[in-house]
Chain A
Amino acid sequence: MNKLSTSSRIIIAIISLSLILTYFTPIWRIDLFAPQYPEGLTMKIWLNDIKGQVDIINGLNHYIGMRKINVAMFPEFSFLTYIVGFYIILGLAVSVIGNRKVLFWYLVFTAFGGAFAMFDFYRWGYEYGHDLDPTAPIKVPGLSYQPPMFGHKRLLNFDAYSFPDIGGWIVIGAATIAFLVWLHGWYRSHKMKLK
């Protein structure tokens, strides 16, 4: 009854392994556009690094007293790769066990993980945008510069856009497919019950 079909188990295995790609692709990207930056500035967040035009962004942000973005700022970088590795192994285990209930708890666990990651990202953004140097040349009373967690936000002369990058889409895609697999299994067993 709770058994997953072979094809479902293969799919779970493939999407788990697809997470390996997140080691080689950026997870998230923040794009900034301003009148004098029509070509845009990009910051890319990887599992263990931050890349893109970070130096230029830092150079601009010092006017409003924001801290310099650097790798040391993110303790997450030291363990994120292990967490993803853990999820890969967990997914493979689910595939081997082949039980729909186990898949359900895997999905719940994944949802928690995702929610925590977004919370962590929000927390960083809040601190980065609010913890300003009191001697900054430009001070706008009441204004903070927290980057958007998802989507668009206007920050002074910059339009900031925050969206998943390739790695992020892989994670979202993998989670969605896993959910659909579970839904499919649930629907099938539900139908069988009705019969």
Chain B
Amino acid sequence: MKSLFKTFLLVALTASTFTWLQSCKPKGAQSAVSGDAASKVYVAPGKYDEFYNFVSGGFSGQMSVYGIPSGRLFRVIPVFSVDPEKGYGYSEETKAMLNTSHGFVPWDDLHHIALSETDGIQDGRWVFGNGNNTPRIARIDLKTFRTAEIIEIPNSAGNHSSPFITENSEYVVAGTRFSIPMDNSNGDVPINTYKQNFHGTVSFIGVDKTSGNMNIAFQILLPGVNFDLARAGKGKSHGWMFFSCYNSERANTLLEVNSTQKDKDFILCVNWKKAEEYAKAGKGKLQSVKYAHNIYDEQKQMASSAIENQVMMLDPKDCPDMVYFMPCPKSPHGCDTDPTGEYIVGSGKLAAVIPVFSFTKIQAAIAAKNYEGDYEGIPVLKYDAVLHGEVKKPGLGPLHTEFDDNGFAYTSFFVSSEVVKWNVKSLEVVDRVPTYYSVGHLSVPGGPTRKPWGKYLIAYNKITKDRYLPTGPELAQSAQLYDISGDKMKLILDFPTIGEPHYAEAIPASLIMKNSQKIYKIEENKNPYAALGDKFARVERKGNEIHVYMTAIRSHFTPDNIEGVKMGDMVYFHVTNLEQDWDVPHGFAVKGANNAELLIMPGETQTLAWKPEKPGVYPIYCTDFCSALHQEMQGYIRVSAAGSNVPISFSTGKTAPAVTTTTDKK
């Protein structure tokens, strides 16, 4: 009996121990959501979100547009990658947008967003994005939400610290993540001659005040470190740009070990006002390079690509007082300036503290030549002389910092998977919340500007795992929305994203929606291939080219019966959407085209090139459900053998008397 009792006790103890151990496991994320979260993110049907959120697509190469606080996706803007859905990179008009010095590049890796600013405040005119792989910067026009311009960056590889913008949109920048031999040198060198032959550059790309058109104003030749992220000074520090960099060891292999040996790497401080003067004074050298500059002409509705041949290179050796290095602990990543422009926050990925630098102290140290030495000829400021202070024990793996309108900073921690809120002046940590999982960039509306709008914080995470219904091994990336209007950050929403978001910016909807264009005015359509009315619709032969000048209006194409195309011909369908009504696009597709569709907005002309593969009759149709008779919006094009004598003919609504021919052989 006693032994039975003992056994019972043992079993009970074991069981309770297991239960206790079980309860030690972390609780699910559900417990982190407060009760009123739903009402905070609920935007009723037909109502608008308070903010637009422009989110980089990472390896999708595109930029997506979300509403905040609902997390609803509104649009994916094709930027660096082809988009068959919209015909971007497939239509004859848009192909040139993706031209580079390497030819047509149909993909890139878009990491960072920069909204245009006036006086350090978002102005809602343009949004810029960087191409990381084949170095480029794109400008998107926020009237049309379309890519208006792409400029390639020479002397660059891995355009990562880009396109961060100055407070009056004077410049967007581009810093090299990979150092490389310069474009005008013989690049065919042994990789282990890195230290002799490899250089980094930072480029300042001027932005025209009215048109927004970009031009590479100058580049600065720098030691072969890896430039990572950047942020412009603002207010008192306007005229300066800060670039974080790692790999001051200048390793060219196994960087995860070889570039992480030193205690400190650098933040590069660039006095760009000074650099501007040097460039003007002709202190730079004109280097012969090749880079593409692509502009989408909204009137002609056509992209053109020009190859530029020169760039102005400033060498710090010839330009004193232009650049300084500032030591920053352990492989800095984020490099963010606070809304006052006084504090620069460096985030060493492997550092145990967050150093906060003071712009006033930087200026004093420069004036007093308070250097601890130089790095490849560039003065290195003394760490203690420029430091405002360090945030102690903030978390593990700090990456990026955003700011609110109340003097607080929010830093993301990849390794400890959390966001930490701290006071910029006192450097005290005041709150922390978990993210799901391993957060990268953060976004507070207006966070990088002189005037943060605050209210929300969005975390863009790198790991998703169990946040949504599983979709096999490949998962959507997850973002989390936090309410930061109170003292404590509150998780209020999870939403999936396109591609892999890196940086994002949010802007009040009121700054953008009033300018959003509804249609293209047909009388402003200067596309040379437009048919601005049914009576101009026609088919013309030019040698081996067939040009179909076609119109589309609910619910027919003119012409919709086309004959006289022969094998060996290249057929160009120039389709003009004659509609002048909001939200009535027409689509166009032809069977067997080794291409994509066209999606043509009201008043727009787009061209699809098609090379028929064999004789026959090919259907064409409208792909966008345009009207009650959309399904009737169709036609045929006949392709005859090369030597055939079928004449060019075209019509809509007229049926020629049927000729009794048949393909049946009796």
For the complex, is A137 an interface residue (Cβ under 8 Å from B)? Answer: yes
For the complex, is B469 an interface residue (Cβ under 8 Å from A)? Answer: no
Question: CA separation between A63 and B627, bound complex, in Å?
Answer: 10
A36 to chain B, nearest CB (A): 9
Cross-chain pairs A/B with CB under 8 angstroms, 11 sampled: A39-B582, A56-B580, A59-B553, A59-B554, A59-B579, A63-B554, A63-B628, A63-B629, A137-B555, A137-B629, A138-B628
For the complex, is B277 an interface residue (Cβ under 8 Å from A)? Answer: no
For the complex, is A131 an interface residue (Cβ under 8 Å from B)? Answer: no
Contact mask for chain B residues 130-155; partner A; CB cutoff 8 A; 1 contact, 0 none: 00000000000000000000000000
For the complex, is A133 an interface residue (Cβ under 8 Å from B)? Answer: no
Q: Indicate if the CB atoms of B581 and A59 lie closer than 8 Å.
A: yes
Instruction: List B contacts of A56 (CB < 8 A).
Output: 580-581
Q: Which residue of B lies closest to A57 (CB)?
A: B581
Q: Which residue of A lies closest to B628 (CB)?
A: A63
A142 to chain B, nearest CB (A): 20
B630 to chain A, nearest CB (A): 12
Contact mask for chain B residues 554-591; partner A; CB cutoff 8 A; 1 contact, 0 none: 11000000000000000000000001111000000000
Instruction: List B contacts of A59 (CB < 8 A).
Output: 553-554, 579, 581
For the complex, is A55 an interface residue (Cβ under 8 Å from B)? Answer: yes
Closest 8 CB pairs of A and B: A56-B581, A137-B629, A55-B580, A59-B554, A56-B580, A63-B628, A59-B581, A59-B553
Contact mask for chain B residues 427-451; partner A; CB cutoff 8 A; 1 contact, 0 none: 0000000000000000000000000
Q: Which residue of B lies closest to A157 (CB)?
A: B628
Considering the complex, which residues of chain B in the window 619-647 have a beta carbon less than 8 Å from any beta carbon of chain A? Answer: 627-629, 632
Most buried by A among B553, B554, B581, B632: B581
A33 to chain B, nearest CB (A): 14
A64 to chain B, nearest CB (A): 11
Question: CA separation between A39 and B518, bound complex, in Å?
Answer: 13
A140 to chain B, nearest CB (A): 13
A56 to chain B, nearest CB (A): 5
Interface range, B side: 10 to 19
Q: Which residue of B lies closest to A41 (CB)?
A: B581
Question: CA separation between A191 and B580, bound complex, in Å?
Answer: 63
A170 to chain B, nearest CB (A): 31
Instruction: List A contacts of B555 (CB < 8 A).
Output: 137
With A137-B555, A137-B629 already in contact, 16 other A-B pairs whose C-beta atoms are closer than 8 Å: A39-B582, A53-B581, A55-B580, A56-B580, A56-B581, A59-B553, A59-B554, A59-B579, A59-B581, A63-B554, A63-B627, A63-B628, A63-B629, A137-B628, A137-B632, A138-B628
Question: CA separation between A121 and B581, bound complex, in Å?
Answer: 27
Instruction: List A contacts of B580 (CB < 8 A).
Output: 55-56
Question: CA separation between A39 and B629, bound complex, in Å?
Answer: 23
Question: CA separation between A32 and B629, bound complex, in Å?
Answer: 21
Considering the complex, which residues of chain A in the window 53-98 have a beta carbon less than 8 Å from any beta carbon of chain B? Answer: 53, 55-56, 59, 63
Considering the complex, which residues of chain A in the window 21-70 have a beta carbon less than 8 Å from any beta carbon of chain B? Answer: 39, 53, 55-56, 59, 63
Q: Which residue of A lies closest to B632 (CB)?
A: A137
Considering the complex, which residues of chain A in the window 104-140 have a beta carbon less than 8 Å from any beta carbon of chain B? Answer: 137-138
Question: CA separation between A55 and B579, bound complex, in Å?
Answer: 9
Question: CA separation between A122 and B628, bound complex, in Å?
Answer: 30
B359 to chain A, nearest CB (A): 49
A153 to chain B, nearest CB (A): 21
Q: Which residue of B lies closest to A62 (CB)?
A: B554
Question: CA separation between A59 and B580, bound complex, in Å?
Answer: 10
Question: CA separation between A52 and B220, bound complex, in Å?
Answer: 56
Question: CA separation between A138 and B553, bound complex, in Å?
Answer: 17
Question: CA separation between A138 and B554, bound complex, in Å?
Answer: 13
Question: CA separation between A55 and B628, bound complex, in Å?
Answer: 18
Instruction: List A contacts of B627 (CB < 8 A).
Output: 63
Instruction: List A contacts of B582 (CB < 8 A).
Output: 39
Question: CA separation between A59 and B553, bound complex, in Å?
Answer: 8
Instruction: List A contacts of B629 (CB < 8 A).
Output: 63, 137
Instruction: List B contacts of A53 (CB < 8 A).
Output: 581
Question: CA separation between A108 and B408, bound complex, in Å?
Answer: 77
A125 to chain B, nearest CB (A): 23
Q: Which residue of A lies closest to B629 (CB)?
A: A137
Question: CA separation between A39 and B632, bound complex, in Å?
Answer: 27
Question: CA separation between A39 and B582, bound complex, in Å?
Answer: 10
A138 to chain B, nearest CB (A): 7
B368 to chain A, nearest CB (A): 64
Instruction: List A contacts of B553 (CB < 8 A).
Output: 59
Question: CA separation between A120 and B299, bound complex, in Å?
Answer: 44
Instruction: List B contacts of A63 (CB < 8 A).
Output: 554, 627-629
A57 to chain B, nearest CB (A): 10
Question: CA separation between A48 and B419, bound complex, in Å?
Answer: 66
B560 to chain A, nearest CB (A): 15
Q: Which residue of A lies closest to B582 (CB)?
A: A39
B7 to chain A, nearest CB (A): 74
Instruction: List B contacts of A138 (CB < 8 A).
Output: 628
Contact mask for chain B residues 342-360; partner A; CB cutoff 8 A; 1 contact, 0 none: 0000000000000000000
Question: CA separation between A63 and B556, bound complex, in Å?
Answer: 12
Question: CA separation between A164 and B582, bound complex, in Å?
Answer: 27
Question: CA separation between A29 and B629, bound complex, in Å?
Answer: 29
Question: CA separation between A137 and B579, bound complex, in Å?
Answer: 19
B555 to chain A, nearest CB (A): 8
Question: CA separation between A63 and B555, bound complex, in Å?
Answer: 9
Q: Which residue of A lies closest to B553 (CB)?
A: A59
Q: Which residue of A lies closest to B578 (CB)?
A: A59
Question: CA separation between A106 and B580, bound complex, in Å?
Answer: 46
B143 to chain A, nearest CB (A): 19
A58 to chain B, nearest CB (A): 11
Q: Which residue of A lies closest to B518 (CB)?
A: A39
Instruction: List B contacts of A39 (CB < 8 A).
Output: 582
Q: Which residue of B lies closest to A53 (CB)?
A: B581
Question: CA separation between A53 and B582, bound complex, in Å?
Answer: 11
Q: Which residue of A lies closest to B581 (CB)?
A: A56
Considering the complex, which residues of chain B in the window 189-234 have a beta carbon less than 8 Å from any beta carbon of chain A? Answer: none
Question: CA separation between A86 and B622, bound complex, in Å?
Answer: 54
Contact mask for chain A residues 3-26; partner B; CB cutoff 8 A; 1 contact, 0 none: 000000000000000000000000
Instruction: List B contacts of A137 (CB < 8 A).
Output: 555, 628-629, 632
Question: CA separation between A110 and B554, bound complex, in Å?
Answer: 44
Considering the complex, which residues of chain B in the window 32-90 have a beta carbon less than 8 Å from any beta carbon of chain A? Answer: none
Q: Which residue of B lies closest to A38 (CB)?
A: B46
Contact mask for chain B residues 528-558; partner A; CB cutoff 8 A; 1 contact, 0 none: 0000000000000000000000000111000
Question: CA separation between A53 and B602, bound complex, in Å?
Answer: 15
B570 to chain A, nearest CB (A): 33
B585 to chain A, nearest CB (A): 14
